[in-house]
Amino acid sequence: MKASDSIKVHLGQRVKLLRLQVGLSQEAFADRCGLDRTYISGIERGVRNPTLEVLYIIATGLSIDLPTLFAFDHSV
């Protein structure tokens, strides 16, 4: 897997884990973030390449900061 694909997959898994930990459905989380549910789904499946602004919105929606959002092993 290319490094650029791997980071998207790892981040998607991280977002899903954190979302489930706070007990939010994709729908509820998308509403909280003001993003489309299918976009959240795409991020969690690792097929989207979100921008810094979207990453910040997601972290804010999870009530965490960006270092915490990225606190996962992403060595390829």
Cα(50)–Cα(40) distance, integer angstroms: 10
Query: Which residue, 25 or 71, has its beta carbon nearer to its own copies?
Result: 71
Cβ–Cβ under 8 Å, residues 14 and 74: no
Cα(58)–Cα(70) distance, integer angstroms: 11
Query: Which residue, 28 or 64, has its beta carbon nearer to its own copies?
Result: 64
Smallest gap, in angstroms, from Cβ of residue 29 to its own copies?
18
**Using CB under 8 A as the criterion, which residues of the chain lie in contact with its own copies when the complex forms?**
3-4, 7-8, 11, 49-53, 55-57, 60, 65-71, 74
